[in-house]
């Protein structure tokens, strides 16, 4: 999570319209349309920005990994499915719809 001295500094850093940003930060207007941009900029979860519940970040790891997860969350479903299938295979966790790593690489009679 990133910290700034004031709202103007944050708005300037990320290129947000200051008047809109300050209204969002003060709660005068909803942030629904801007929440993805804010979450990405401040490296926090969208749900945390909206509800304040839970922790700002729900994963540990590199900034690069966090950014990939955020982009993946907004990707088309077929891209998400392909990445999940590959991740399960690479981690040795069969998805249930395909052969396990062992049976995929070992001939059967």
How high is the pLDDT of residue 88? 86
Instruction: Return d(Cα 104, Cα 100) in angstroms, integer.
Output: 6
Mean pLDDT of 4-12: 87
| Least trusted range by pLDDT, from 43-52, 59-68, 93-102 | 93-102
pLDDT tens digits, 51-64: 777 677 655 566 67
Amino acid 106: pLDDT:
55
User: CA-to-CA distance for 5 and 7, rounded, in angstroms?
Assistant: 7
Give how far Cα 24 sits from Cα of 8, 10, 30, 50, 86, Å.
Answer: 12, 13, 6, 11, 38
Looking at residue 1, what is its pLDDT?
42
List the chain domain ranges.
Answer: 7-51, 75-105
Kindly report which listed range (8-22, 41-55, 81-95) carries the lowest average pLDDT score: 41-55
What pTM does this model have?
0.43
SS3 state of residue 66 = helix
Measuring CA to CA, how many Å separate 39 from each of 61, 87, 104?
Answer: 16, 24, 39
List Cα–Cα distances, 50 to 4, 13, 18, 84, 104, in angstroms: 19, 21, 19, 26, 44
């Amino acid at each position: 999570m990133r910290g700034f001295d004031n709202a103007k500094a944050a708005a300037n850093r990320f290129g947000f319209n200051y008047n809109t940003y300050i209204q969002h930060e003060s709660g005068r207007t909803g942030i629904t349309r801007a929440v993805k941009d804010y979450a990405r900029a401040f490296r926090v979860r969208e749900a945390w920005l909206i509800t304040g519940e839970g922790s700002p970040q729900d994963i540990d790891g590199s900034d690069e990994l966090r950014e990939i997860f955020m982009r993946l969350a907004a990707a088309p479903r077929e891209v998400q499915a392909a990445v999940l299938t590959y991740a399960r295979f690479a981690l040795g966790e069969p998805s249930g719809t395909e052969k396990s790593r062992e049976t995929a690489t070992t001939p059967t009679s």
